[in-house]
Chain A
Amino acid sequence: MRRSVRAFVLVSVLATAAAACGESPAEDAAPAEGDAAPVDLSAFDGAVRIGAALSETGKFAVEGRDSRQGYDTWVRWVNEEYGGIRIGEGRYGAEIVYYDDESDADTAANLIQRLIDEDQVDFLLGPYSSGLTTGTSAIAEANNVIMVEGNGTSDTMFERGFQNLFLVATVASDYTKSAVEALAARGVRTAVIAHEDTTFPTSVAEGARRHLEANGIEVLAIEKYPKDIQDVSAIMTKFRNLGPDVFLGGGHYNDAVLFVNAADELGFEPDAMLITVGPSNPRLVEQLDDDVEGVLGPTQWEATMAYEGHWFGSAADYAAYYQRLWGEPPVYQAASATASALALHLAIEAAGSTDTDAVRQALRALRADTFYGPIAFDERGVNTAKPMGTIQVQDGEILVVAPDAAAVAALVYPRG
């Protein structure tokens, strides 16, 4: 008996340790439950109360923290720099009530319900990830509370006919649109696609196929592969034998490394490589050096983009402001979060009230140029005005090459 008890205790301790390690703790001071950003609202005529459940713990802890910093950037800016939200003659301060959804669907649902019922927030900002946004947006819809979000981009969310869900970011199926259009203009004829069989890469790949076909590019093959794949050489060998002009691949960061290495080793040299996740990350360039030269990748937002707006100024101005507040440059998740809050802010001002119906009308009618790009929602609530950016690695630098409105360099095709 003794031995088995000890074995069980050992297993329990190891499991606990593993669980504790798996959870990446937020680096800054952990926020308490339901705390609001520390702002003095006494100087204002009133306050607009907004709620958000974000992941402080669990598998989305890092992105959750970026999203929160993005929201808080808007709060700081609107209260300290802008002088409060203008509603009629009055100036209203902004406050956000946060909870930690632990990256868990049940907890997120519970907290969104709590924000609506008990904290009685006027509006909601989205959580991080498509899965959590899909579940919580249904609660917002059922309670007639508007949710503006920038970090849940799966297309299926917008098939549901919701009236209260708005996305400032580009929807997953349009991730490759600007790249495909730019490539079509250069006379690309054929393409192949490989994607991981999970939510987001599947949406991206299905969208890519549509955009390719719409631009008269023939899709020679589509290959799905499982999560956490270790070897893509079978797929790449097949693709090499098909000899396409363009290779499109999507999954996680590590897949980008596998694709680039396998293509190099197997002598698969398409004129363009477009990889969903990875190329916009400077780490990939460091890791793969010359092999990644000329590779294309989509990006929601980059600080180098040539976008500018009346609020926050240009993309670069926003990045500088963000850097001042948080001591690190903004990633696109943070920019998307700030842009969500900004869209809501502009709609409240246009509506002249915090009434849900009036603000919904205003969101539908919103046409704004911002640091994040143009914002205009279609009837689904998706911002179709902002194209997805495309970057290319040129001489080891990550440069925006499409769309034209955001580009800082010309597309190099065929790649080096």
Chain B
Amino acid sequence: MSRAAPGTGAVAGRWPAGRAVGVGALIVLVVLAVLPLLGGTSNATLLTLTLMLTSIGVAINWNLTGGFTGYVDFGHAVWFGIGAYATAILISLQSNGPQVGWPPVPAILVGALVAGFLAAIIGRATMRLKGPYFSIAMLGTFVAVREIVRVWSPLTGGGVGLTLPPYLNRALFYYVELALVTVLVVGTWWLRRTRFGAALVAIREDEVGAETRGIDTTRLKTAVFSFAGLSTGLFGALWAYQNTFVDPDIAFVEVRTIDAVMGTMLGGLGTVAGPVLGAAALYWVRELLWTHLLDAHLLAQGVLLIVIVLFVPRGLVGLVDRRGTSLFELWGWKGWSRGLRQGPVAGGEAEAAS
């Protein structure tokens, strides 16, 4: 546990100014990269850190649509589950599955692509909705996909699930996920500085305005949504391989979405460091809570959520960086009013129908 403390601590060094933040982040990265080489890092620690990196990765992806583009996705974990399942289907040799028997690397990559592809299709439809309507549509997608997976037994093994060969190299998965998270952080930092990133924020701030200024909002938001799906699918694919077993209730877990939302809100919606900081902090807070509070740990978590929403709506990073946003700006306030009042102009028939 103590080993990850530098992680959260040094990222906290982001407060002062751009350069200091960059140096701090680099130090964290080096510490995390060298850690397993120092010896004394058990597989248990590596697994803990890998699971933390997984939730950071999912939170970063969630922030792309939720924080930057302003579409609060309450079913984001569906891409995680789809990535996990697609990979498991391709690898598993279990008698009740399709027994494809692919090697892991192509299976994991294809698993992520399947998630990205489905995200493109579903995103095109659901992103016509605004504010809470989109959030609920995605929650529905999540539940529906889980049931489809349960019923489609010739392909998915049904409720029985699928087992994968137990190849457990904790250090390998740790480095792969560390590299992925690094790429994502650098990617979002860069994105924030591009026209594309600015266009996403424009969609969040005023979608109709963005459209009238010539931004192809449908294409941009579908693109970012598909990328987030693909990336979360990749984490899901890696997770399936590490867990060596998927079934509908294990691969599609609501908590994964809730964690991404809470982590991002805690850190700061629509900021680069927010989801990293928030998801990491949340992971350790959770660990402490269930160690010390046990039966009350979910209650404590709920209280924490309320406190964040009411008192630090812009998250920890939002305390110093005003470029982020908050959930009620997205959803309770702007999103809501935009969805109801200006919807027909922005979303056409689909909006009117909702």
The residue of chain B having its C-beta at the shortest distance from the C-beta of A58 within the complex is: B298
Query: What 1/0 mask marks residues of chain A from 210 to 242 whose CB sits below 8 Å from any chain B CB?
Result: 000000000000000011000000000000000
Highest count of chain B CB atoms <10 Å: which of A57, A100, A134, A159? A134
List, in ascending order, chain B residues with CB within 8 A of A104's CB.
253, 255
Query: What 1/0 mask marks residues of chain B from 140 to 184 whose CB sits below 8 Å from any chain A CB?
Result: 000000010011010000111101011110100000000000000
The residue of chain B having its C-beta at the shortest distance from the C-beta of A15 within the complex is: B302
Q: Contact: B94 with A159, CB < 8 Å?
A: yes
List, in ascending order, chain A residues with CB within 8 A of B21's CB.
none
Q: Which stretch, B195-203, B206-214, B328-336, B346-354, touches the partner chain A?
A: B328-336
Q: Which stretch, A68-76, A194-202, A309-317, A333-341, touches the partner chain B?
A: A194-202
The residue of chain B having its C-beta at the shortest distance from the C-beta of A34 within the complex is: B291
Give the tally of cross-chain contacts (CB within 8 A): 152
A12 touches which one: B42, B167, B306, B333 (CB < 8 A)?
A: B306
List, in ascending order, chain A residues with CB within 8 A of B296's CB.
20
Q: Contact: A199 with B247, CB < 8 Å?
A: yes
B163 touches which one: A5, A7, A110, A134 (CB < 8 A)?
A: A134
List, in ascending order, chain A residues with CB within 8 A of B309's CB.
5, 8-9, 12
Contact-residue size bin, chain B (C-beta under 8 Å from the other chain): 35 or more
Please tell me if A106 contacts chain B, counting CB pairs below 8 Å: yes
List, in ascending order, chain A residues with CB within 8 A of B2's CB.
none
The residue of chain B having its C-beta at the shortest distance from the C-beta of A137 within the complex is: B166
Please tell me if A160 contacts chain B, counting CB pairs below 8 Å: yes
Query: What 1/0 mask marks residues of chain A from 153 to 184 whose CB sits below 8 Å from any chain B CB?
Result: 01011011010000000000000000000000
Please tell me if A131 contacts chain B, counting CB pairs below 8 Å: yes
Q: Contact: A20 with B299, CB < 8 Å?
A: yes
- CB within 8 Å for A198 and B150 given contacts A102-B290, A135-B243: yes
Q: Contact: A20 with B306, CB < 8 Å?
A: no
Please tell me if A358 contacts chain B, counting CB pairs below 8 Å: no
Q: Which stretch, A114-122, A298-306, A381-389, touches the partner chain B?
A: A114-122
B296-336, CB < 8 A from A? 296-299, 301-303, 305-306, 309-310, 327-328, 331-333, 336
Please tell me if B44 contacts chain A, counting CB pairs below 8 Å: yes
B245-264, CB < 8 A from A? 245, 247, 249-250, 253, 255
Please tell me if B8 contacts chain A, counting CB pairs below 8 Å: no
List, in ascending order, chain B residues with CB within 8 A of A110's CB.
44, 47-48, 51
List, in ascending order, chain B residues with CB within 8 A of A277's CB.
none
Q: Contact: B95 with A159, CB < 8 Å?
A: yes
- CB within 8 Å for A203 and B160 given contacts A12-B309, A131-B250: yes
List, in ascending order, chain B residues with CB within 8 A of A162's CB.
166
Please tell me if A42 contacts chain B, counting CB pairs below 8 Å: no
Q: Which stretch, A138-146, A364-372, A391-399, touches the partner chain B?
A: A138-146
The residue of chain A having its C-beta at the shortest distance from the C-beta of B54 within the complex is: A106
List, in ascending order, chain A residues with CB within 8 A of B94's CB.
156, 159
A12, B327: Cα distance in complex, Å: 13
Q: Contact: B44 with A118, CB < 8 Å?
A: yes
Q: Contact: A131 with B161, CB < 8 Å?
A: yes
Q: Contact: B163 with A157, CB < 8 Å?
A: yes
The residue of chain A having its C-beta at the shortest distance from the C-beta of B96 within the complex is: A156
A18 CB, min distance to chain B CBs, angstroms: 9
Please tell me if B43 contacts chain A, counting CB pairs below 8 Å: yes
- CB within 8 Å for A113 and B43 given contacts A131-B249, A134-B245, A138-B166: yes
Q: Contact: A197 with B159, CB < 8 Å?
A: yes
A214, B321: Cα distance in complex, Å: 71
A134, B165: Cα distance in complex, Å: 11
B266-316, CB < 8 A from A? 290-291, 294-299, 301-303, 305-306, 309-310
Q: Contact: B168 with A142, CB < 8 Å?
A: yes
Please tell me if A331 contacts chain B, counting CB pairs below 8 Å: no
Please tell me if B218 contacts chain A, counting CB pairs below 8 Å: no
List, in ascending order, chain B residues with CB within 8 A of A33's CB.
291
Q: Contact: A156 with B163, CB < 8 Å?
A: yes
B275 CB, min distance to chain A CBs, angstroms: 19
List, in ascending order, chain A residues with CB within 8 A of B306's CB.
9, 12-13, 16
The residue of chain A having its C-beta at the shortest distance from the C-beta of B308 within the complex is: A12
Please tell me if A293 contacts chain B, counting CB pairs below 8 Å: no
B328 touches which one: A5, A100, A157, A196 (CB < 8 A)?
A: A5
Q: Contact: B310 with A9, CB < 8 Å?
A: yes
List, in ascending order, chain A residues with CB within 8 A of B253's CB.
104
A157, B281: Cα distance in complex, Å: 35
A214 CB, min distance to chain B CBs, angstroms: 18
Would you list 29 pairs from A and B whose C-beta atoms are within 8 A, ordered by A residue?
Answer: A4-B331, A5-B309, A5-B310, A8-B309, A16-B303, A16-B305, A17-B302, A19-B298, A20-B302, A30-B295, A102-B290, A105-B243, A113-B44, A113-B47, A113-B170, A114-B44, A117-B45, A131-B247, A131-B250, A134-B244, A135-B245, A135-B250, A138-B166, A142-B168, A156-B163, A197-B159, A198-B159, A202-B159, A226-B150
Binding site for B on A (CB under 8 A): 1, 4-5, 7-9, 12-13, 15-17, 19-20, 23, 25-26, 30, 33, 56-57, 100, 102, 104-106, 109-110, 113-114, 116-118, 131, 134-135, 138-139, 141-143, 154, 156-157, 159-160, 162, 196-199, 201-203, 226-227
List 13 extra interface pairs beyond A5-B309, A116-B44, A117-B42, CB under 8 A: A4-B332, A8-B327, A16-B302, A23-B298, A25-B295, A30-B295, A102-B290, A104-B253, A106-B243, A110-B47, A113-B42, A134-B244, A159-B95
